[in-house]
């Protein structure tokens, strides 16, 4: 049994969507103070698997159901990577295996979060492992959409290096943002341990890190323009800049409006989208060959495309 490249790509996209949904529902748990809605794990409470019909347990249990779906999609993607045609792809198998490790780490830390009563440092680690899982999933989707190999770099090497510097700074901004949430009022439940840093100080560190990251992105866009980089790459860079600007507006608005839960939730999801867009932009700096197909992979009733010499075509004429 073989799975077509298109079918495998669809499965990878479903897994990515489930990961993003997991982050969104996890944020909903925290921002609604539902972190201890189910005080036990893997059961909800008092050896009961299902939650009582009240708000906080239902929200927490809903996130656990998303995690269950995530386990299923990651496992299915890993198994499918061994049956993907038309030829074996070790890179896709390794990335699919990374999904398994990531989702296992998320599950274990999820239990630790519950039993440490939402310790801020454990919650921060839980979120960052989720970002690592997201990164693997994004790379898997991008790689599954073309042939194997790293591709051919189509921009100057200094642009590639600057992009990697930007990614490192953006990752630091994510960590700082996670720590800012850990110092803020949204602990996920009453009495949870917070990061012992003033929220104003932590917010300032996060904002300054984001500003430096933004300046590097502006310099990167200028380098692309000066080097006359391919238009699609410049367009994706502008999309990334737009995503960062929107995320910044949400961030400043939530801070100056006393951190309403809804805006904080949008900011968390925005961080996921900005990071995913940055990985997409970095991947697009190289030109990748399409997946090679064979006659066996053609749909029934069709024949593989074969180049016909011009002389033969003129002699044969229409059928």
Q: Is pLDDT larger for residue 86 or for residue 263?
A: 263
Residue 7 has pLDDT above 70, yes or no: yes
pLDDT, residue 28, reads 87
Residue 23 to residue 66: CA distance in whole angstroms: 10
| pTM, rounded to two decimals | 0.85
The tens digit of pLDDT for each residue in 122-173 reads: 889 999 999 999 999 999 999 999 888 888 999 999 999 999 999 999 999 9
Long-range contacts of 236-242 (CB under 8 A, 24+ apart): 236/277, 236/280, 236/281, 236/284, 237/281, 239/277, 239/281, 240/274, 240/277, 240/278, 240/281, 241/217
User: Predicted confidence band at 46 (pLDDT cuts at 50, 70, 90)?
Assistant: confident
Across 203-295, the runs of DSSP E, i.e. the strands, are: 286-287
C-alpha 238 chain-centroid distance: 19
pLDDT, residue 293, reads 53
Q: Tell me whether residue 305 is exposed, middle or buried, using C-beta atoms within 10 angstroms of its C-beta: 0 to 12, 13 to 18, 19 or more.
A: exposed
Q: Where do the structural domains in the chain lie, given as residue ranges?
A: 1-149, 150-288
**Contact assessment for residue 120 and residue 192, using Cβ atoms and an 8 Å cutoff:** yes
Helix (H, G, I), strand (E, B) or coil at 113: helix
Residue located via tokens 């779906």: 69
- Which residues sit opposite 309 in a β-bridge? none
User: Predicted confidence band at 308 (pLDDT cuts at 50, 70, 90)?
Assistant: very low
* 188 φ/ψ sector (left φ>0, alpha ψ -120 to 50, else beta): left
Pick from 94-103, 275-284, 308-317: least confident: 308-317
Residue 287 has pLDDT above 80, yes or no: yes
Residue 13 has pLDDT above 60, yes or no: yes
Residue 91 to residue 81: CA distance in whole angstroms: 10
Q: Is pLDDT larger for residue 204 or for residue 48?
A: 204
Mean pLDDT of the chain: 86
pLDDT, residue 108, reads 87
């Amino acid at each position: 049994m073989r799975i077509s490249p298109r079918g495998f790509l669809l499965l990878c996209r479903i897994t990515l969507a489930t990961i993003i949904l997991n982050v969104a529902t996890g944020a909903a748990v925290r921002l609604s103070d539902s972190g201890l809605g189910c005080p036990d794990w893997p059961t909800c409470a008092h050896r009961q698997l299902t939650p009582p019909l009240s708000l906080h347990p239902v929200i927490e249990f809903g996130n656990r159901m998303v995690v269950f779906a995530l386990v299923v999609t990651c496992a299915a993607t890993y198994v499918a990577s061994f049956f993907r045609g038309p030829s074996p792809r070790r890179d896709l198998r390794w990335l699919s295996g990374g999904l398994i490790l990531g989702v296992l780490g998320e599950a274990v830390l999820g239990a630790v979060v519950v039993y440490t009563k939402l310790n801020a440092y454990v919650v921060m680690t839980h979120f960052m492992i989720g970002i690592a899982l997201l990164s693997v999933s994004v790379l898997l989707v991008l790689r599954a959409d073309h042939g194997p190999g790293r591709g051919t770099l189509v921009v100057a090497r200094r642009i590639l290096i600057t992009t990697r510097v930007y990614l490192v700074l953006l990752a630091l901004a994510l960590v700082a943002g996670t720590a800012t949430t850990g110092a803020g009022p949204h602990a996920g439940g009453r009495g949870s341990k917070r990061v012992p840093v003033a929220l104003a100080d932590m917010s300032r560190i996060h904002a300054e890190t984001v500003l430096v990251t933004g300046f590097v992105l502006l310099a990167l866009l200028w380098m692309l323009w000066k080097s006359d980089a391919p238009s699609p790459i410049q367009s994706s860079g502008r999309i990334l800049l737009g995503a960062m600007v929107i995320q910044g507006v949400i961030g400043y608005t939530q801070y100056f409006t006393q951190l309403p839960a809804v805006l904080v939730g949008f900011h968390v999801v925005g961080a996921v989208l900005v990071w995913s867009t940055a990985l997409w932009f970095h991947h697009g700096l190289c030109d990748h060959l399409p997946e090679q197909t064979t006659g066996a992979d053609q749909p029934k009733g069709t024949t593989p495309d074969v180049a016909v010499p011009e002389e033969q075509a003129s002699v044969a004429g229409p059928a």
